Structure 1
Amino acid sequence: MKSSSLHCWIVVNGYLQHEKFSSLALFIQESAERKGISATLVRNSDLVPVIEKGIPYLKGTDGKLPDFVLFMDKDIHLARHLELLGLPVYNSSSAIDICDSKAKTHQALAGHGIPMPKTLFPPFTYEGIERKNLDAFKKIGNELGYPLVVKEAYGSFGEQVYLIPTEDEFMETVKKLGHRPFIMQEFIEHSKGRDIRVNVVGNQVIASMQRKSEHDFRANMTAGGTAFPYTPTKAESDLAIRCATLLGADFAGVDLLFGEDGPLLCEVNSNSHLLNICECTGINIADSMFDYVMDAFERKGFQ
């Protein structure tokens, strides 16, 4: 197969104007072109998924579709629509959907022997319907002990993760979150201010870094943490690969905590930020991602 015969779309969000997202898109596009793949950056806001008379099609294109899509957004409906059109989408819409929600991730991995912090799920409420009786949350606080961790189900860069020291603060946090979905977890003191990011492509660990913060319980670099190259243990590598495989993610940034008895799953990112780990380790994960896709096309006999 001649790799130059492949054409892909790199789908990004049309409303995110922050430099780090545009830099990431260009970084990935450059990697594709180094591999001889013709890559076009496509904003999700320029595509309109349509179902007419029961038939799916797409407005906003010249009628030509790519060979595959690298989906760097969380527009689940668009990703699923592209799959309906027969396009290979990396990662799949189902993998993106599950990984995008911390609640869905932990439940999808439950029952598979994946070590993770003790996790509880709040009783659901509707938008505009306040939880006036907080007895259930007082019981949850007693179950987990303090401090405990509250994580909004949808959030990035550690910005929607809260360390809750007391019952009063827990009740206030629950009130502030309202109907927004969240989970509650035991606090892993042994991993305070440090974690591991393991980037997996297919069934291989491509790069890993340890993140550390001296002043925050979160190790995220956007929360002030620093990173350095890290060689994961076999247990850490196996755990990261197994999580990605169970969730159906071809590519994943798997975050692990340091448990006293071994690694614990923190979360799985289907659209991990590749620039940070490249700057830290010197490894361009996007190159491995495109190698993986090209291998898949070769196995299918693409000419």
Structure 2
Amino acid sequence: MHVTGWIIYNDSLPGKKFIDFAQWLEKAAIQRASNVKIMSNSELLSFLSQSELSVLTEEQPSALPDFVVFTDKDIYLAKQLELLGISVFNSSEAIRISDDKILTYQQLATAKLPIPKTIIYPKTFTSQQLKPGALQAAIHRLGFPMIVKEAFGSFGEQVYLIHNKADLIQQIKNLATKPFVLQRFISTSYGKDLRLHVVGNKVVAAMKRQSAHDFRANITAGGTMEAYEPSEEEQKLAILATQSIGADFAGVDLLVGENDSPIICEINSNAHIRNLFDATGINVATFIIDYIFKKIEGNTNA
């Protein structure tokens, strides 16, 4: 079966890690004799009118691919491609939920999966503070230290550890109208977490991340990594978390709770894979492309 595909990345972002992920996927697809092309989302214009719904490219008319893999979070472009009947991995809805940590926690809570106790800060159009009683109720439920986490962000850069009420009030003021959550701090996971990469119904690779100097374990924040053999409970939880947002594949970050019980921290629908390869020697791109081919060929048990 001759399959064509686009691998879409965002060239407006600094650094090489975004094109790097796309290139890993491209190589894996070529090994499957697939005709694939790496494209930036800035090369694809979604066109809408009363009589036409299409994607404009430099090459017009452009033959549409059988599948598209997103290493980016351009939800509107993903939706446009789906409306054109193209198989998109991950789906626009999975990307939308994963990109918004508030939506993610709501899905996880609905699925009754373990997450840190979380309070969604009310939407505001100014830097208005919570009413004193409401703020005190949040502090009573979560305690200090407390995590303040923006709904949109990557690499742990929009996550803050708050130690007292004065700092909390100041951080809320700093965030102004941005959406964010307040969360109970999982002290047993200070400076360490687990990244499990799920493809379909399997965990295909995992690593443990640790930092000696930061409450966050992200590699970008200075953490170190090593291969990790997840327990059955951890694997099951990562798979259920991925399924809860409707993703075909995802990087799931687990915190370490009391008695080593796993707690879901975040789900990344387009998690980069180079660090995981460096830690484990496992190329997740091969598993992703194999999964996509099975789905396209009609194997629903991929």
Instruction: Sort the TM-score into its range (normalised by shorter chain).
Output: over 0.9
1:157-205 Cα deviation digits (max 9, x unpaired): 1010000011101000000001111111100011111110000000001
**Number of the residue aligned with 1:66:** 65
What secondary structure sits across from 1:120 in the alignment?
A: strand
Where do 1:220-299 residues align within 5 Å? 220-261=218-259, 262-299=261-298
Identity of aligned residues (%): 44
Following TM superposition, by how much is the alpha carbon of 1:7 offset from its aligned partner in structure 2, in angstroms? 1.1
* One-letter code aligned to 2:74: D
Q: 1:14 aligns with which of 1, 11, 31?
A: 11
1:42 paired to 2:39: yes
Deviation at 1:139, TM superposition (A): 2.9
- Contact (CA 8 Å) 1:10, 1:39: kept in 2 or not? yes
Describe how 1:60-139 pairs up with structure 2 within 5 A.
60=57, 61-62=59-60, 63-126=62-125, 129-132=126-129, 134-135=131-132, 136-139=134-137
Change over 3 Å in CA distance of 1:7–1:149 after alignment to 2: same
Q: Are 1:55 and 2:52 matched, yes or no?
A: yes
Root mean square deviation of aligned Cα: 1.5
Q: Which runs of 5+ in 2 are unaligned?
A: none
d(CA) in 1 for partners of 2:78, 2:193? 30
**CA–CA distance in structure 1, aligned partners of residues 275 and 51 of structure 2:** 43
5+ residue gaps, structure 1, are none
Q: Give, in whole Å, the separation in 2 of the partners of 1:189 and 1:280.
A: 25
Distance 1:235 1:54 in 2: 51
- Alpha-carbon distance in 2 for matches of 1:82, 1:111: 29
Secondary structure in 1 aligned to 2:110? coil
d(CA) in 2 for partners of 1:84, 1:169: 46
Equivalent position of 1:170 in the other structure: 168
**2:145–2:164 contact (8 Å) kept in structure 1:** yes
Preserved CA contact (<8 Å) 1:255 1:267: yes
CA contact (8 A) 1:205 1:237 kept: yes
Give structure 1 regions of 4+ aligned residues with deviation exceeding 3 angstroms: none
Residue pair 2:4, 2:66 contacting (<8 A) in 1 also? yes
**Matched residue count:** 296
CA–CA distance in structure 2, aligned partners of residues 210 and 238 of structure 1: 17
Matched residue SS, 1:299? coil
Conservation of the 8 A alpha-carbon contact between 1:9 and 1:41: yes
TM-score (norm 2): 0.94
Counterpart of 1:206, as a letter, is V
